[in-house]
Amino acid sequence: MIYLDHAATTPVPREVAEEMYRVLTEEYGNPSSQYAYGQQARRLVDGWRAGISEALDCEPGRLFFTSCGTESDNWAFTAALWQNRRVGKHIVTTAVEHSAILERCRWLEQEGYEVTRLLPDHDGGIPAERVLEAVRPDTALVSVMLVNNETGNVYPVAEIAAGLKEKNEKTLLHTDAVQGFLKVPCSARALGADFVSISAHKIGGPKGIGALYIGGRVRSPRPLLPGGGQESGFRAGTEATAQIAGFAKAVALRREHLEEKLAHMARIRAYAIEKLTEIPDLQIIAKGQAPHILSVSMPGWPSQNVVNDLSAAGICISAGSACHQGKPSQVTAALRLEKRTAAGVVRLSFGPETTEAEIDAAASALRRHRETRFPML
């Protein structure tokens, strides 16, 4: 199998799985228990939190574990809108956010919130100036992702944070950094966002564990899940110690020779562009800066057919975000592509393990698809 869908999820290294197994079988104490075995688990969780916090460049006491990036996104909205309930009911976001953001915004509109969704430029970019122009005195929250999961565009979160201090200092800022953490510069301090969402399974960790950074401007964040007082009273539920251990181990492994890994992924992406653009009529979609994501289109060839054909050849690519399960995505729609181009968009995404030989195989398979299948659009 050739796996070129690292933006959907990533392979779990054996060291991560072994660490999780060790915790499941040897360190299974409940961190909330008061006896020594439970407190040993508490110390382990604190250590794992510290390692992930160091990678995110934030204080450990401001990083809280969740079940996934979607939960982190939703908790950020809950906390921000509660704190700013007297500021107003206006939200600024983009039309290319993850479904966790856009679906939450649709629900909030039913509760009386007004949502401004900013369209990207045709190259996928969204300048900070456009975000700040949309901010009003009643804007409670701005949410702009760090890296788009389909185009790879990197958005100017730090610039937005700086501008908000002048435009409306009460407006809180959230960034979904799930695709950016340990793939582009992603320092909570440097970004300046009040909330930063991250997830383990995009960097070689297990599914089912994420985290939310909550900055100092957020006063007593409102829990998404009230209950037993875990995570300093802000996120209830017994800590998923094995998943947390796997998250921390994945972070540690990814940080080893990180610059070399990022440079390798960037070279693979450039090589993929070189090889894929040799296919007649193939188009590169957007101008993403992230090193691990590349979207292309073969106009006239429906993307799901392309994905299915390559899957039969043992090559995994996607027709956009995995969260859309084969349906056209909001990102493709927001780019305002010509209809035949939009219907033919597929995404390749890379990891430190991806090789040029795998790119060659994918390019050959795409060329065969074009030569042996009739266009249907």
Euclidean distance between CA atoms 364 and 347, whole angstroms: 16
E strands of 74-219, at which residues?
A: 90-94, 114-118, 139-143, 172-176, 195-199, 210-214
Whether 40 is in a domain gets the answer no
Minimal CA–CA distance to 53: which of 64, 42, 44, 43? 64
What does the pLDDT look like over 113-157, one tens digit per residue? 999 999 999 899 999 999 999 999 999 999 999 999 999 999 999
- φ, ψ at 329 (rounded to 5°): -95, 160
Euclidean distance between CA atoms 49 and 154, whole angstroms: 26
Euclidean distance between CA atoms 276 and 296, whole angstroms: 8
Residue 120: per-residue pLDDT = 96
Whether 95 is in a domain gets the answer no
Minimal CA–CA distance to 202: which of 160, 146, 141? 146
Whether 224 is in a domain gets the answer no
Residue 4: per-residue pLDDT = 98
CATH code of residue 321: 3.90.1150.10
What does the pLDDT look like over 176-216, one tens digit per residue? 999 999 999 999 999 999 999 999 999 999 999 999 999 99
Sequence-distant (6+) residues with CB within 8 A of 115 are: 90, 91, 92, 93, 105, 108, 109
Residue 285 and residue 260 in contact, taking contact as beta carbons nearer than 8 Å: no
Active site annotation includes 68: no
Euclidean distance between CA atoms 164 and 247, whole angstroms: 32
Three-state DSSP state, 338: coil
Give exposure, 169-198, as e/b (b: 16+ Cβ within 10 Å).
Answer: eebbbbbbbbbbbbbbebebeebbbbbbbb
Whether 264 is in a domain gets the answer yes
Residue 249: per-residue pLDDT = 98
Residue 371: per-residue pLDDT = 87
Whether 231 is in a domain gets the answer no
- Boundaries of domain holding 293: 2-10+258-372
For the chain, the domain total comes to 1
Residue 374: per-residue pLDDT = 66
Whether 100 is in a domain gets the answer no
The three-point CA angle 143-149-151 to 5° equals 105
| Residues of the chain falling short of pLDDT 50 | 322-324, 326
Euclidean distance between CA atoms 118 and 126, whole angstroms: 8
Whether 341 is in a domain gets the answer yes
For helices 241-255 and 258-276, the axis angle rounded to 10 degrees is: 80
**Which of 68, 105, 316, 323 is labelled catalytic?**
323
pTM: 0.96
Euclidean distance between CA atoms 44 and 49, whole angstroms: 9
Whether 223 is in a domain gets the answer no
Residue 375: per-residue pLDDT = 73
